[in-house]
Amino acid sequence: MIALKEAECCAHGGHGLRPLLLRRRARRPQLKRDPLGSATRDLVRPVLKSNDLSLVESAQIALDAEDIATVVSNANSAGLPAGPVTLAVVTDADFDRALAVLQTLQRTPPRPWWEAPWAARALVLVLVMLVVAVCGIMIFG
């Protein structure tokens, strides 16, 4: 009868096989931050940084109307979570003029909650619930 030693019958830790849950996932190669725009990074001056993509696009339209060349970076609309978007002027000489244009822009003030589209429906729902409660108290009360 041949008896196998432990080393002959079992694979030890250095065998290169791991359970599926302990294996590392294959990762995508890590890119430098903004690799395509890095050549122009020193040539532009940021004038606006915001999480509101609509605000940045509106500012870009206003600056383009004044013939101020702009660049938008970090416009990662498909990425989650969305990061801040930076609007920068290409020419350093346009920086002060761009700030003046952006200061003339007016943000739309938020509407009061009672003017919101859902407010009328919410009011009707509260009134219906009040009527049902009063009727329930009168009938069962």
Tens-place pLDDT, residues 42-98: 567 899 988 888 888 889 999 999 999 999 887 555 555 567 888 999 988 899 999
**Domains located in the chain, CATH noted:** 37-107 (3.30.70.790)
Q: Residue 40: its pLDDT value, please?
A: 46
CA–CA separation, 56 vs 105, rounded Å?
12
Nearest 5°: the CA angle 48, 72, 110 is 45
In terms of average pLDDT, the best of 20-24, 48-52, 118-122, 126-130 is: 126-130
Q: 3-state DSSP helix/strand/coil percent for the chain, to nearest 5?
A: 45, 10, 45
Q: Residue 99: its pLDDT value, please?
A: 92
For residue 127, pLDDT over 90 is answered with yes
